[in-house]
Structure formats: structure tokens, C-alpha cells
Amino acid sequence: MKDGKLHIPPMPVVVLTLLAIGLGATTMALGLALLGIGSLAFLVSSATDTGIMATIVGAAQLVVGVSALVLAFGLWFQRSWAWGLGLVVFGFSLIVSAASVAAGATVGSVVLLIAVALLVMWYLYQPRVKALYGH
């Protein structure tokens, strides 16, 4: 609040923040699920490869999720570092989504994450959005 008035950020900031929160929540849930699946797979001796892959992808999903929530904070408060972190987080999200498919996930299960990541990376390069973050 400035001068007793509620500050509402520009629409691009709101959209990017909501997408980062969505990515963070989704990937954290996926990461926790995969870690659980990986733990269960270790209990079944014949599924150790599946357990290892699920654990690795699950841990990567958790890293993306936590990073996306930190990114949401930076985007909302229009920190200059948020622009670069946005490219890194959504770029890493693409890599993790591809690894998820390689680990056995269906393309349909990650297509929304891939589409959002590509859209946000494109959006971050728009002149108006770059200017909002001092780039």
C-alpha cells in the first residue's frame, strides 16, 4: 500500500505470477507423487530401475516447484532478477517434462506444462514485459 491505496500490479505481472504459482503447485505435487512411487518401487526388488528414475524425476520436479514459488514472489514484486529466473525455471521445467516422458510418463500428462513453459518463455521476451523487469 502506498499513500493508503492498494497497489495492483500491471496485468502481465499478475498473469506471470499466477502461472508461476500454478507451475510451482503442480510440479511440487508431481514431485511428491513420484518420490512416493519411487519409494514403493524400491520395496519391489524387480522395479529398482523404475524406482531410481521416479526418484530422480521426482526430486527434479520438487526443485522446479520450489523455484517456481520463489519466482512467483519475484515476479509479483517486479524484482529484476525474476526475469532471468523465469527463463531458467520455465526452461528447466521443459527439461524435466521431457525427462518425465523419457521415464515413462505419457506425453498427454505433461503437454500442458510444456505448453505453459513455452508460452511464458515467449511472453518474457516481449518488450513490455522485459521493461517491467528492467531489461
pLDDT in tens, 88-104: 999 998 888 888 787 77
Residues with Cβ < 8 Å from 33, sequence gap 6 or more? 58
Is the pLDDT reported for residue 3 higher than 80?
no
The pLDDT value given to residue 48: 72
Report the distance separating Cα 117 and Cα 97, nearest Å.
10
Domain-located, residue 4 = no
The pLDDT value given to residue 47: 64
Mean pLDDT, the chain, as a whole number?
86
Residue with cell 495492483: 8
Domain-located, residue 5 = no
The pLDDT value given to residue 38: 80
The pLDDT value given to residue 4: 67
Lowest mean per-residue pLDDT among 23-32, 59-68, 69-78, 99-108: 99-108
Domain-located, residue 2 = no
Domain-located, residue 6 = no
Report the distance separating Cα 121 and Cα 100, nearest Å.
20
Other C-beta atoms within 10 Å of 46: how many? 7
The pLDDT value given to residue 53: 81
* pLDDT confidence band for 40 (50 / 70 / 90): confident
Domain-located, residue 3 = no
Report the distance separating Cα 93 and Cα 89, nearest Å.
6
DSSP 4: T
Number of domain units in the chain? 1
Domain that holds residue 59: 11-132
3-state secondary structure of 2: strand
Is the pLDDT reported for residue 12 higher than 80?
yes
The pLDDT value given to residue 57: 84
Domain-located, residue 67 = yes
Domain-located, residue 100 = yes
Kindly report whether the global pTM for this prediction surpasses the value 0.85: no
Domain-located, residue 55 = yes
Nearest partner of 12 among 82, 100, 107, 92, judged by Cα: 82
Lowest mean per-residue pLDDT among 45-49, 56-60, 87-91, 113-117: 45-49
